[in-house]
């Protein structure tokens, strides 16, 4: 299966294959290469009428075949894009096989589907014709490299720590990362290099800062800072359940770091386990020293109980979250509540 970069190369060289099948869940990467392809076809003012986009959830295979076999209007070729082809049954996909085996010379047919497992009928054939394109998101461990490469393509040099910081603040969603990177590039328009300070300054909104402060305060058991960060997040409209999810993710990283360090693993090993940069792995290793294994287990129980309370009771979410932070970040409270049956036991 070829990478999506090979499709870009075909477009730049105008050396199109008759049929492409783009498989994968990286919606951003797919939409970008499709937009690029359409733009190339529309450079000729007459070519815009020779670009057709269909949704397999709204049309039948026979409709696609008819479109593919329709000659272009005052042009050498036409572009036909069909998304969601994985929504068709295998029987429906088989109807396309004749046109895929002997495609019209004047049509570039681009089929798009998220699930490769549901496209075996088509993918087996197109793999042999070198028309199978992978559009999977980068692995977690490769995201920092993806950010740096994307910045470089836009004329910027973002340092490794700055890229890792951006990833930590924004998360792993490619579109959100791309939007944040564009904002960062606009912010640093007068300089080529992007450092950690630029990331913090460019994304200096209350919610982003508070998320960063909360996860760090939680990991370092800084009770007052953690409570203040929770309050600020709630004031910005952040979902209480999303806050629980953030804390759960942070605790899981701390737990993995704690286990890894007890097993004598290096920071390099931990970075591999967490699929992250070494400097972030080092931070989790440091934070893991603030919790014993038993405290981590109890913290997971408290997170589960808090999540359940928010979903099933009328107790204000702010009260539940603040009590959660107190119970986890206060070493004394963690010790005294270890044997309590319920989350609110200390308050009753």
Domain with 22 in it: what CATH number?
3.40.50.300
* Share above pLDDT 90 across residues of the chain, in percent, rounded to a whole number: 64
Same domain, residue pair 55 and 122: yes
d(CA 333, CA 337): 6
pLDDT at 95 over 90: yes
d(CA 256, CA 278): 14
Higher pLDDT, residue 75 or 192: 192
Mean pLDDT of 275-279: 80
* Strands 51-55 vs 78-83: parallel, antiparallel or unpaired: parallel
pLDDT at 56 over 80: yes
Match 């609110």 to its residue by tokens: 344
pLDDT at 167 over 90: no
Higher pLDDT, residue 311 or 237: 311
Same domain, residue pair 221 and 338: yes
End position of a domain, from candidates 202, 218, 240: 202
Same domain, residue pair 179 and 274: no
**CA angle, corner 226, sides to 229 and 210, nearest 5?**
30
Q: What is the DSSP string of 246-289?
A: HHHHHHHHHHHHHHHHHTT--HHHHHHHHTS-HHHHHHHHHHHT
What pLDDT does residue 26 have? Answer: 92
Same domain, residue pair 216 and 259: yes
Mean pLDDT of 128-157: 91
79: helix, coil or strand?
A: strand
Are the C-beta atoms of 330 and 222 separated by less than 8 Å? Answer: no
Same domain, residue pair 21 and 124: yes
Same domain, residue pair 82 and 114: yes
Are the C-beta atoms of 143 and 172 separated by less than 8 Å? Answer: yes
Same domain, residue pair 17 and 64: yes
d(CA 256, CA 275): 12
d(CA 137, CA 27): 9
- For the chain, what is the mean pLDDT? 88
Same domain, residue pair 239 and 337: yes
Q: How many domains does the chain have?
A: 3
Same domain, residue pair 109 and 64: yes
pLDDT at 77 over 50: yes
Higher pLDDT, residue 291 or 205: 291
Same domain, residue pair 287 and 339: yes
Q: Any idea of the CA torsion for 206, 255, 338, 314, to the nearest 10 degrees?
A: 40
Same domain, residue pair 21 and 48: yes
pTM of the model: 0.68
Print the domain residue range for 191: 140-202
pLDDT at 44 over 70: no
Band (pLDDT 50/70/90 cuts) for residue 45 is low
Same domain, residue pair 233 and 335: yes
Closest CA to 180 of 160, 192, 191, 165: 165
Match 């951006």 to its residue by tokens: 166
Q: 35 vs 72, 118, 147, 205, 232, CA distance in Å?
A: 20, 25, 20, 31, 39
End position of a domain, from candidates 77, 109, 134: 134
Pull the structure tokens for residue 217: 């305060």
What pLDDT does residue 168 have? Answer: 79
Band (pLDDT 50/70/90 cuts) for residue 65 is very high
End position of a domain, from candidates 177, 202, 227: 202
Band (pLDDT 50/70/90 cuts) for residue 6 is very high
């Amino acid at each position: 299966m070829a990478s999506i970069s090979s499709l870009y190369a075909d477009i730049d060289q105008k050396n199109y294959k008759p049929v492409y099948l783009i498989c994968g869940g990286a919606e951003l990467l797919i939409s970008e290469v499709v937009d690029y392809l359409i733009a190339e076809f529309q450079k000729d003012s007459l070519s815009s009428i020779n670009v057709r986009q269909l949704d397999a959830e709204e049309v039948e295979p026979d409709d696609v075949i008819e479109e593919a076999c329709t000659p272009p209007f005052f042009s050498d070729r036409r572009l036909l894009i069909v998304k969601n082809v994985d929504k068709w049954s295998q029987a429906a996909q088989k109807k396309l096989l004749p046109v895929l085996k002997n495609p019209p010379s004047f049509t570039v047919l681009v089929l798009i589907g998220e699930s490769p497992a549901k496209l075996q009928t088509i993918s087996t054939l197109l793999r042999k014709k070198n028309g199978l394109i992978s559009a999977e998101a980068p692995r977690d461990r490769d995201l920092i490299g993806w950010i740096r490469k994307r910045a470089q393509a836009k004329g910027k040099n973002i340092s490794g720590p700055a890229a890792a910081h951006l990833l930590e603040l924004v998360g792993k969603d490619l579109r959100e990362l791309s939007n944040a990177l564009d904002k960062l590039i606009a912010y640093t328009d007068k300089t080529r290099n992007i450092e950690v300070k630029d990331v913090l300054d460019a994304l200096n909104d209350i919610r982003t800062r508070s998320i960063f402060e909360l996860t760090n305060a939680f990991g370092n058991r800084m009770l007052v800072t953690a409570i203040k960060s929770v309050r600020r997040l709630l004031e910005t409209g952040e979902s209480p359940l999303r806050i629980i999810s953030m804390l759960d993710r942070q605790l899981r990283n701390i737990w993995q770091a704690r286990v890894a360090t007890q097993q004598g693993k290096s920071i390099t090993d931990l970075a591999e386990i967490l699929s992250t940069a070494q400097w972030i792995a080092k931070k989790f290793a440091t934070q893991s020293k603030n919790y014993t294994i038993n405290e981590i287990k109890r913290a997971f129980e408290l997170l589960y109980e808090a999540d359940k309370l928010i979903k099933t009771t009328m107790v204000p979410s702010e009260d539940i979250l603040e009590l959660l932070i107190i119970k986890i970040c206060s070493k004394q409270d963690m010790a005294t509540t270890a044997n309590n049956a319920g989350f609110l036991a200390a308050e009753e």
